[in-house]
Structure 1
Amino acid sequence: MTRPVFEPETLPVEAIGADLPPVAAGRLTPDGLRARFEQRLSWTPEPIVEAPWRDIHADPRVAAVLVPLVVRDNGLTVLLTQRADHLNDHAGQVSFPGGRHEPFDADATATALREAQEEVGLDPARVEILGALPDYLTGTGFRVTPVIGLVHPPFTLKADALEVAEVFEVPLGFLMNPAHHEVRVFRWEGGERRFFAMPYPRAASAEHNSREDRDHQTGGHHFIWGATAAMLRNFYRFLSA
């Protein structure tokens, strides 16, 4: 299947998760998250998955991302990046820091921490690893392990301009409220596909960004969608189980 070109932000919203409860506030704290990862509760990943856009005869490419939960005075936030427009994979999309597994990486955690340091300059010493979610298979042929970690200030970031156009933070409570989870649908002559989207107003995230970044934010949304939104939805399922 050849991947058609489309603008995800213009596609219709088929449903939202307003009928589902948000994650309890007590679980959206460092101690609450530590306790949840220590448990072995049964839960079911989100049924919406990405079918390949094209035939993939080889094994999926192994990758990992860091889901960085920044410990702020007013609550946890999720650190996200907007990828540079010229990249071959997922250009211009909002994503977690991460990338392909290298032979010298001991495991998925090592990949996620290394990639986060390379992409945004995050010191691995500032990250407390909590655990990982089930692997997520993307339509572009990556098998991604989402590694969850608490990021403890103080820390400094330096984005790799070749890969990252912007770094920003979104409150974890916003992303773990299914009322903000949209299911959008793309229909074309080859069929139809559904994906999650979680638009977040740029003005709301300005307080977490530098003054220079704020000067360039003239409105609109950070459009979180696709694999990143799907992994966040799985995180919601995990925390609400």
Structure 2
Amino acid sequence: MSPAWSEDLLRAALSVKTGPSSDFDLDLSTPPDVSLRPAGVLAAFHEDDGRLILTKRASGLRHHPGQIALPGGKVDPSDADEIAAALREAHEEIGLNAAQVDLIGTLPAHQTVTGFSVTPVLGIIRGEFIPIPEPDEVDEVFSLPFAHVSDPEKYQVARRRWRGTWRSFHVAPYGPYYLWGATARILLGLARRMQP
């Protein structure tokens, strides 16, 4: 069931204790013992109605081309931490000024099959925001309603062959947008935290 949009609800979700997640959760397999590259993504909800800003990644990118994603990326040497990386990348990818984001906290890291340890950073966008997509990185910037993102029943499990084996992953399609993989798993974890 989808709760109504509330900043307090989002903040309260951060106090719910859960462990880290990974792309390997559904296959009940142990993630490979590899050196993970730190990354940060920004789950930015607009203060007016809780709509979540997402991107469709450019098809020419090396990692996750064409996928629906939260703005973000790997931690660069100039970044203080994953939060700084998420804010920098959001500015570069969609033109979101860090001064417009009210940071409220982070979720446990999510390990991807591509070797990243992704820290989801939660924030609330204050005031009007008109996205400016960076064409080399982003094909489209759009938003999903809070009612869709926050409802665990909107998420299902799908399977596909990947690198010679079957992989299971979460999906939460919405109209023409196929939300899946790490982004869907991160948001499902948040949705579960918001349930009564």
- Common fold: TM-score over 0.5: yes
Task: State the TM-score, normalizing by the size of structure 2.
Answer: 0.88
- Give the AA of the match of 1:49: F
Name 1:235's counterpart in structure 2. 190
SS at match of 1:139: coil
> Aligned in 2, Cα 1:84/1:189: closer, same or farther, shift over 3 Å?
closer
Distance, in Å, in 1 between the alignment partners of 2:59 and 2:156 is 24
- Aligned equivalent of 2:3, options 11, 15, 24: 24
SS in 2 for 1:224: coil
SS of residue matched to 2:174: strand
Please report how far the alpha carbon of residue 44 of structure 1 lies from its aligned counterpart in structure 2 after TM superposition: 5.3
Residue of structure 2 aligned with 1:114, choices 60, 64, 88: 88
1:31 aligned partner, one-letter code: D
After superposition, the Cα gap between the structure-2 partners of 1:197 and 1:36, relative to the gap in structure 1 and judged at 3 Å, is closer
- Partner of 2:61 in structure 1? 87
Structure-to-structure mapping, 1:1-80, within 5 angstroms: 22-25=1-4, 28-37=5-14, 39=15, 41-43=16-18, 49=24, 58-72=34-48, 75-80=49-54
Q: Percent same amino acid at aligned positions?
A: 38
Whether contact under 8 Å (1:83, 1:94) holds in the other structure is yes
Give how far 1:141 is off. 0.8
Q: Deviations over 1:44-72 (max 9, x none)?
A: 56686368xxx977511111100111122
Which of 225-234 and 147-156 deviates more?
147-156
Where in structure 2 are the equivalents of 1:138-153 lying within 5 Å?
138-153=112-127
Where do 5+ consecutive residues of structure 1 fail to align?
1-21, 202-220
Deviations 1:114-144 (A, max 9, x none): 0000001001111001111111110011110
SS in 1 for 2:177: strand
1:160-204: CA deviation from partner (whole Å, max 9, x where unpaired): 000000000001111211221110022589442110111101xxx
Would you say how many aligned residue pairs link Structure 1 and Structure 2? 192
Q: Which amino acid aligns with 1:144?
A: V
SS at match of 2:141: strand
Of structures 1 and 2, the larger Rg is shown by: 1
Listed as ranges, the gaps of 5+ residues in structure 2 are none
Query: Are the counterparts in 2 of residues 44 and 237 from structure 1 also a CA contact under 8 Å?
Result: no
TM-score of the superposed pair, with normalisation by structure 1? 0.72
- SS of the equivalent of 2:194 reads helix
Paired amino acid for 1:156: I
Q: CA RMSD in A?
A: 2.4
2:20 and 2:82 map into 1 onto residues whose CA distance is 19
CA distance in 2 between counterparts of 1:66 and 1:189 reads: 28
| Conserved? CA contact 1:43–1:237, under 8 Å | no
The 3-state SS of whatever aligns with 2:89 is: helix
2:181 counterpart residue number: 226
**How many angstroms apart in 2 are the aligned matches of 1:118 and 1:188?**
30
